[in-house]
Homo-oligomer: A and B are copies of this chain.
């Protein structure tokens, strides 16, 4: 079962800041913000709480499943599938025939030049290993 957690004032403050911004900030930005409220909070605490909050599903981390950048030798439009078990990232050959960029351009004020679509789940190989 999941480990017990406490809602400390530090954790509460970090969560509140994150819920009240749209800018998807970095840990350091959050650290600066939260220091207005808790001046002697440490950056380590910010990182620890972000990890705890992400594990419990209260927030999302926008990375690629690791702290490293990952590089893709195929610059063409294609979609990815990341296996939640083994961590591998597959290319998907599927083309849904979606013209998502055009949809954005016609339905919003944004001008989209490209998009990235990534699925998360279990790959065929890990399904067998079950």
**B-binding residues in A (CB < 8 A):** 15, 17-28, 30, 50, 54, 57-64, 66-75, 80-81, 84, 88-92, 94, 96, 98, 100-101, 103-104, 107-124, 127
Contacts and interface: CB of A to CB of B under 8 A. Distances in A.
A48 to B, nearest CB: 13
A57 to B, nearest CB: 6
- Name A's interface SS: mixed
A119 B124 contact: no
B124 A120 contact: no
A122 B114 CA distance: 11
Contacts of A127: 109, 111
A49 to B, nearest CB: 10
